Structure 1
């Protein structure tokens, strides 16, 4: 079971209804906005025919970006509650902008967003750690960047890998190649494929399980093997997937992200089944409960979140090829996988795209 076009539009309208006058899209009305989930909602609004609302969301992102390229971690109705800059969240503007390009083919919009994307990814690549992962955040004090939290999150770095491929695609579109992003991406991809033990251990969260596949760093037989490793730990047949391995709680956003990861590696039957399984979270108004505690037969938390609705829309778009944006997680329109160059782990450097990186470097020197 998937959704009809009318149902997708109804769900997009439920997101638009929660958008603040500033353009910010909070998790729920009165709750906080973070730029990653905000931009995911902008992408879903584009798919669901709410382009004006989507572009107000992009305008908010341009206006709220800080001089170092980051965004505050948590903003509540225009007031910053957590000033920290998270790398994963900042990087995602590249994915959202490339998605807009796929859907609308509006080059003027891409050029409008390009300075924001460039600042964001320059901030992110400056946070790469010696083993290749990306430091997960930087604190702010007295209105300025401060201590870097120098550990890397596997899910966050996997999403950054996806963002770097989108960023390099945008750079090529606007004619401003970014060789440093490609070099950082090569080292990051290697870490995600070969050194997952060096990231912070968050293995109780399902996101750490499937995100290396969703972000595109792990593909082919290795991706299928990675999915198989913890399928029985997280998947609850007929309901969706657990957010946390030890809790009897399935969540819609994580389920839909796994749907997209499965579809990206050709596992369409299970992708479609999981998408159907999570529809018990849908309301008559087209919004979605965040999750469901199955021993108690209750939706929890008692909220319908924009990011859950957005994940549903993007998953439906992908499995139905509803818009050209359906490729955003499959990644065939993104920049090629990055060459593994300049590794500091002692592994041999290489990769199919090494010649491509060298060629770009030659054009820019």
Structure 2
């Protein structure tokens, strides 16, 4: 890709700006294909995939393919990846279900942009194993435990943000399954149950309401959309959004963060609030470094960037938000859920509650 094919947001970031950010991510990439948080830092499978997606969107397809090859080579036999690696060595052998599921989003994104059928066929077994691993930790009600610890013991506690992200991953995985001609009806049932629980059973999840991710992720992950999504974002807007700076990570800390702000941009875009999304995207550009990388956050009470890290995944979130706002690549609508499966509807009467998906489709 070159020139006009690279995302650009008028008045905020040019295509060359976005290319520079992508190059800053590629510069941190290890010879193995792994993309750490920053050069010499640790790798986790979710942020690695997020960075690979940004490389694809910005036209660095070879580097993105190297990242997905790393995911393919390092997947464990049970379909999972270690939670944390440093220079190829496992530092935390636990397996985070959200982290493992996210490969489906990355593979579907890469396929949408490149239309590479060989890539899809090569990565399909990876996605299938990952999703089967994740769904092995799904409770009867529908929520999914957030981790299997280093001893191999599943932890039943479920996280709203993580399960919302898994909801999106399942939708992408089902789209990929249909593309390769291997339908997965069990996944459709699991997606329907998870979506229902996300919409109707907040008691299923650990209380993390202090964190902005628990606020916007049900919208970003596609479980809550339409008027319900708009209402959700409006309800806590003043708790998390700081005019002219971006979104707080935590509601009681004077700390705005770039990745959360860009994910909120994607959430706003998904419910049609494009003007507000554009405004918020412009507001967070104070975190941009001259080399195109992005600082993780700013403690605005004292004007200090913290932590003192320019993280690959923050730059990646910027690129993905820029693509959504500019509708540049064929994957620009990925987080809007364009043409993604919605799963099999749950019989709401079974748990005694009503559940109508925000678009009008029973959930």
Q: TM-score normalized by structure 1?
A: 0.93
**CA distance, structure 1, for counterparts of residue 68 and residue 289 of structure 2:** 27
Task: Name which of 30, 34, 38 aligns with 1:24.
Answer: 34
More off after superposition, 223-232 vs 125-134:
125-134
**CA distance, structure 2, for counterparts of residue 189 and residue 176 of structure 1:** 22
Task: Name which of 189, 199, 204 aligns with 2:205.
Answer: 199
Does residue 35 (structure 1) correspond to residue 41 (structure 2)? The answer is: no
Cα deviation code 1:126-158 (max 9, x no counterpart): 1111221111000123xxxx2111011000000
Cα offset, 1:333, TM superposition: 2.6
RMSD between superposed Cα atoms in Å: 1.6
Runs of 4+ aligned residues of structure 1 deviating over 2 Å after TM superposition are 341-354
> Can you give the 5+ residue segments of structure 2 that lack an aligned partner in the other structure?
1-10
Does residue 247 (structure 1) correspond to residue 257 (structure 2)? The answer is: no
Secondary structure in 1 matching 2:170: helix
- Work out whether residues 246 and 258 of structure 2, in 8 Å CA contact, stay in contact via their aligned partners in 1: yes
**CA distance, structure 1, for counterparts of residue 353 and residue 205 of structure 2:** 17
Does residue 47 (structure 1) correspond to residue 57 (structure 2)? The answer is: yes
Cα deviation code 1:240-278 (max 9, x no counterpart): 000011110000000000000000100011100000000
Task: Name which of 66, 70, 84 aligns with 1:74.
Answer: 84
**CA distance, structure 2, for counterparts of residue 190 and residue 349 of structure 1:** 7
Does residue 286 (structure 1) correspond to residue 292 (structure 2)? The answer is: yes
Residue 257 of structure 1 corresponds to 263
Q: How many residues align?
A: 351
Residue 113 of structure 1 corresponds to 123
Cα offset, 1:93, TM superposition: 0.6
Cα offset, 1:344, TM superposition: 5.9
**CA distance, structure 2, for counterparts of residue 289 and residue 4 of structure 1:** 19
Cα offset, 1:298, TM superposition: 1.0
Does residue 167 (structure 1) correspond to residue 177 (structure 2)? The answer is: no
Cα deviation code 1:114-137 (max 9, x no counterpart): 000000000111111122111100
- Work out whether residues 161 and 216 of structure 1, in 8 Å CA contact, stay in contact via their aligned partners in 2: yes
Does residue 139 (structure 1) correspond to residue 149 (structure 2)? The answer is: yes
Report 1:334-345 matches (<5 A). Answer: 334-341=340-347, 345=351
Task: Name which of 326, 329, 332 aligns with 1:326.
Answer: 332
More off after superposition, 343-352 vs 213-222:
343-352
Cα deviation code 1:267-320 (max 9, x no counterpart): 011100000000000011100000001011111111100000000000000000
Residue 126 of structure 1 corresponds to 136
Residue 5 of structure 2 corresponds to none
Cα deviation code 1:324-343 (max 9, x no counterpart): 11011001132235412588
Task: Name which of 186, 202, 207 aligns with 2:192.
Answer: 186
Secondary structure in 1 matching 2:94: strand
- Work out whether residues 33 and 63 of structure 2, in 8 Å CA contact, stay in contact via their aligned partners in 1: yes
Q: TM-score normalized by structure 2?
A: 0.94
> Can you give the 5+ residue segments of structure 1 that lack an aligned partner in the other structure?
358-365
Distance 1:187 1:300, change over 3 A: same
